[in-house]
Amino acid sequence: MCRHLGWLGDPVSVASLVSEPANGLLVQSYAPRRQKHGLMNADGWGVGFFSSDVPDGTPRRWRSATPLWGDASFASVAPALRGGCIVAAVRSASIGMPIEASASAPFTDGQWLLSHNGLVDRAALPLSPHAESTNDSALLAALIFDRGIDRLADTIAEVAAADPAARLNILAANGSRMVATTWGDTLSVLSRADGTVLASEPYDDDPRWRELPDRHLISVDGASDVELIPLKGP
């Protein structure tokens, strides 16, 4: 239960995607328009981005356990943070899950940034020494990283078989590619002249936004080539 967003294209500021749009993640943290589960996302947030200023291609992250609307430091710095590939999320923690910065997306294996919008029974997920926290999203991220992003469709199908009630919207990016799934929650795409946005819900009323169908794998390559592949599962 969260809202997330991914960008692939020309370098843009984090603020232009998260805090400046009329219904960006900042607004979605307290007044989401299309969220099916939960009323707000006040249990943390995170932003990760790839920048040409980092020669080894390692993603940079900024995560917090506090509400996004209360972080004045982020508000002042976000316009200066730029990247051609960005993943950001605001979090609504499930009952019993820890509220800590390490439980907020995006998670990383050093090459990919990954966010999970949904819910999954932790009993359906293996324990992993690579998990950044003990919440369901961190365990799921560790499983996906351990299995490999190229096996994302199979991993989602297996987790869904183990927990038929799971909601498994994934958004991942590695600097040159974005991959996402729709499984139980919303995801929309906006194709702009300078790149592509994937988001749990549109950040403005641009008529070019398209809602993507449920139970699909979405692949974005080259900032504009969007491919949809049906997912198999129970």
Residues ≥6 apart with Cβ < 8 Å to 72:
none
- Counting Cβ atoms within 10 Å, is residue 219 exposed (0-12), middle (13-18) or buried (19+)? middle
Q: How far apart are CA 11 and CA 196, in angstroms?
A: 12
Q: How far apart are CA 174 and CA 130, in angstroms?
A: 18
Q: How far apart are CA 43 and CA 97, in angstroms?
A: 10
Q: How far apart are CA 98 and CA 104, in angstroms?
A: 10
Could you say which of 1, 2, 5, 152 is catalytic? 2
232: number of Cβ within 10 Å: 11
24: number of Cβ within 10 Å: 23
102: number of Cβ within 10 Å: 16
Tell me if residue 2 is catalytic. Answer: yes
List C-alpha distances in Å: 168 to 74, 137, 140, 141. Answer: 28, 9, 9, 11
Active-site residues, by number, are: 2
